[in-house]
Amino acid sequence: MGAGATILGLSGPRLTRAERDFFAAADPWAFILFARNLEDPQQIRWLTTELRECVGREAPIFIDQEGGRVARLRAPVWRDWLPALEQVKLSGRNAVPAMRLRYRIIAHELRALGIDGNCAPVVDLVQPDTHEILKNRCYGNDVVKVSEIAGAVAEGLVTGGVLPVIKHIPGHGRATGDSHLELPVVETKEKALRVSDFLAFQSVAGLPLAMTAHVVYQDIDPDNPATTSHKMIEIIRSKIGFDGLLMTDDLSMQALTGSFADRTRASLDAGCDTVLHCNGDMAEMAPIVEAAGRLTGKAADRAETALGWRRSPDDVDIAALDAEFQSLMTHQAG
């Protein structure tokens, strides 16, 4: 039987005895770390080792290290980066190689800590009214350019030994609300979405992992956000063509309603493979774990395929990559 159909967070920088016992029983497929879990390199390496010991295997450990505002690891120990949208604009025609290098360097920092998954690239197309929670994390609004950059971001991570997670499929850019606090509704017609937002994700549909958007697409399913919508996940699978492991965005976000068990069942029934819960609250995680059950069937196959993307990092000179990145940013044009 496969691992649990869950990706779970924990409460602090060290595992409590209760968490250790809970994770050993729950056997989540993967873990996710946040700033509250991160103090210094030695502590993080010990924590990632402990988490894997809990489940008795090399479970993936994810983080949101986009750079810019969404960065769990920060200076002075780790590099700080410009918001992605700002860097893309500054680097001009060098945006694709610059973003590839940026995420290769980020991958190097993550692997040194025992972290082997990053929730990037962000493939959402920015709009004039994109909510501020997302806006400067995007790469632009031109489908072709965003597609090229997203592919480069994923390449930088993969060659650095880190699994990429595309987000937020099938597109969060048109949302004017913050799904952490409310349920955004996008009224754009499906025909327009297919040649814009959905098309951007189509270009990276061969990647191993993706995270859903807690967004209602009014013209397709007015009753459910993509995370819990069978219609939307059918579009993700058949129209966008993504057949990798599909995880929910965080189940504790206020865009979703109902009990945590209900949210879990609705997500998996709609076609998600695994559910994500981030805040480390065991009282919330317990019903999620029970409702999620184990990875089986296609979901288990997709999880195994995703793990097959893990590789040892290419041997590189990080100082040289840093210098190359700086050169691209200095000599940008276009």
Active-site residue numbers?
Answer: 180, 249
Rg (CA), the chain: 19
179: phi > 0 → left, psi -120 to 50 → alpha, else beta; which?
alpha
Beta bridge partners of 333: 92
- What distances in angstroms separate CA 299 from CA 58, 201, 249, 263, 291, one per listed residue? 18, 20, 17, 18, 15
> CA 287, CA 199: separation in Å to the nearest integer?
36
Rounded CA separation 290/303 (Å): 19
Cα–Cα distance, 307 to 311 (Å, whole number) = 9
Whole-angstrom Cα distance, residue 31 to residue 161?
17
